[in-house]
Amino acid sequence: MEEKEKKKKQKYHHPNDQTTKQPAAAAASDFSFKPSNEVKGLRFGGQLIVKSFTIRRARPLELLQLLDFPPLFNKLPFPTATAFLPTNFTILAHHAWHTLTLGLGTKKSKVVLFVFESEAMKLEVDKMWPPEIPLGGVNKKLIRGLKGCEMARFKLRKGCITFYVYAVRGVGTVGFCCADDLRSVLQSVVALKDFLDHTAMLALPNQRSLNYSPPVAMAR
């Protein structure tokens, strides 16, 4: 009986769960990196139609707006990060699919974010990757297609948006050089309030939070 009680008290810890108290070097060594052909990719459940929906490469300022991260003076944060956001087609398709299926079709979109170990690696990979890609091609072309690389995968749900964050390094590399950037990205996603409507996310970023209230018109 005592052994059963001890087992119940023990909490499961995901290998990629990191606490902010850990130093960057120690945390980086604990990330669960796997070869690109073994790491988990995007998941679609039974709704295969979502695979045809497209995502596009985000501009640097769009990433900051999405993460609600203030720009730094004379410098853009996350210089080693590449993000893919839902296209306008995907946003409209999600709503149409949800309506046609009488609410059974998913309204959840996906954001895919890669944090590379260096700016040089990011620039090299950006040249190979297309600016727009169907969600169904992400696993094969963006993840499995990175030969000679290892990745650590993080999945975070924020209302109607699911964030897939991948840390990318070369095979055999010890630790992760951009652990601080990766931690900042993850902490920014965790701090976000749930997205209620991803159409507003792209049009007016401030409308995505739960506590948003439209500005009151003032006569001048």
pLDDT digits (tens, 9 = 90+) for 31-51: 689 999 999 999 887 777 888
Q: 40 or 218, which is more confident?
A: 40
Residue 42 vs residues 31, 51, 111, 179: alpha-carbon distances, Å: 19, 10, 10, 23
Percent helix, percent strand, percent coil in the chain, to nearest 5 = 40, 20, 40
pLDDT reported for residue 75 = 75
How far is the C-alpha of 36 from the C-alpha of 43, rounded, in Å?
Answer: 16
Q: Which amino acid is at 28?
A: A
Name residue, tokens 């001048």: 220
Residue, of 179 and 28, whose pLDDT is higher: 179
Distances in Å between the Cα of 194 and the Cα atoms of 50, 88, 117 are 21, 20, 29
CB atoms within 10 A of CB 80: 20
